[in-house]
A and B are shown apart, each in its own frame.
Chain A
Amino acid sequence: MILPFLWMISSSLKTRSQVWVFPPDWIPDPVQWHNYVEALSGLPFHVYTFNTLRITIPVLLGTLLTASMCGYGFARMRFPGRDTLFMVFLSVLMLPAIVTMIPVFVMFTHLGWVNTLKPLIIPPILGGGPFNVFLFRQFFRTIPNELSDAARMDGCGDLYIYWRIILPLSRPVLATVAIFTFLANWNDFIGPLLYLQSDSKKTIALGLATFLGLYSTNWELLMAAATAVTIPALILFLFCQRYFVEGVVLTGLQGV
Chain B
Amino acid sequence: MAPIATSIMDAARWRRVQRTLAGYFFISPGLLGIALFLVGPLIYSFWLSLTEWDIISPPVFVGLENFRTAFLDDKLFWVSLYVTVRYTLVAVPLTLFAALAAALLLDLNLLGISGFRAIYYLPAMTPAVASVVLWRWIFNSEFGLLNYILDFVGLPKVEWLISADVVMYSFWIMALWSIGPMMIIFLAGLHGVPRTLYEAAEVDGANAWRKLWAVTIPQLSPVILFNLVIGLINTFQVFTAGYLLTAGGPKNATLFYVLYTYRNAFEWLKMGYAASLSWVLFAIVMVMTLFIFRSLGRAVHYEAG
Contacts and interface: CB of A to CB of B under 8 A. Distances in A.
Interface of A: 1-5, 7-8, 11, 19-24, 65-67, 69-70, 72-74, 77-80, 82, 85, 88-89, 92-107, 109, 123, 125-128, 130, 133, 157-158, 162, 183, 186-187, 189-190, 194, 204-206, 208-209, 212, 219, 222-223, 225-227, 229-230, 233-234, 236-238, 241, 244-245, 248-249, 253-254, 256
B127 A208 contact: yes
B134 A209 contact: no
B8 interface: no
A89 B30 contact: yes
Interface string B276-301: 00110110011001000000000000
Contacts, number: 257
A241 B285 contact: no
Contact of A1 (B24, B177, B191): B177
A66 B30 contact: yes
A93 B226 CA distance: 12
Interface of B: 19-20, 22-27, 29-34, 36-38, 40-42, 44-45, 48, 55, 114, 117-123, 125-138, 140, 142-143, 145, 148, 151-152, 177, 184-185, 187-189, 191-192, 222-223, 226, 233, 236-237, 239-240, 244, 258, 261-262, 265-266, 271, 274-275, 278-279, 281-282, 285-286, 289, 303
A195 to B, nearest CB: 11
Contacts of A7: 134, 137-138, 145
* Residue in A73, A96, A245 whose Cβ sees the most chain B Cβ within 10 Å: A96
Given A7-B145, A96-B281, A127-B30, A187 B118 contact: no
B133 A226 contact: yes
A8 B244 CA distance: 18
Contacts of A186: 127
A207 to B, nearest CB: 9
A93 B138 CA distance: 33
Given A77-B23, A187-B128, A245-B188, 16 more contacts: A1-B123, A4-B135, A4-B138, A7-B134, A70-B26, A77-B19, A92-B34, A95-B285, A105-B265, A107-B40, A109-B55, A125-B29, A186-B127, A189-B240, A245-B117, A254-B303
A72 B28 CA distance: 11
B226 A230 contact: no
Interface of A, helix, strand, loop or mixed by DSSP: helix
Contacts of B188: 245, 248-249, 253
A253 B275 contact: no
A222 B41 contact: no
Nearest to B130: A226
Interface of B, helix, strand, loop or mixed by DSSP: helix
A212 B133 contact: yes
Contacts of A82: 23, 27
A46 to B, nearest CB: 17
A123 to B, nearest CB: 5
A57 to B, nearest CB: 18
20 contacts: A3-B145, A8-B137, A66-B30, A66-B33, A80-B20, A93-B233, A96-B233, A99-B279, A100-B42, A103-B45, A103-B48, A104-B37, A126-B32, A128-B33, A189-B244, A208-B127, A212-B129, A223-B137, A226-B134, A241-B121
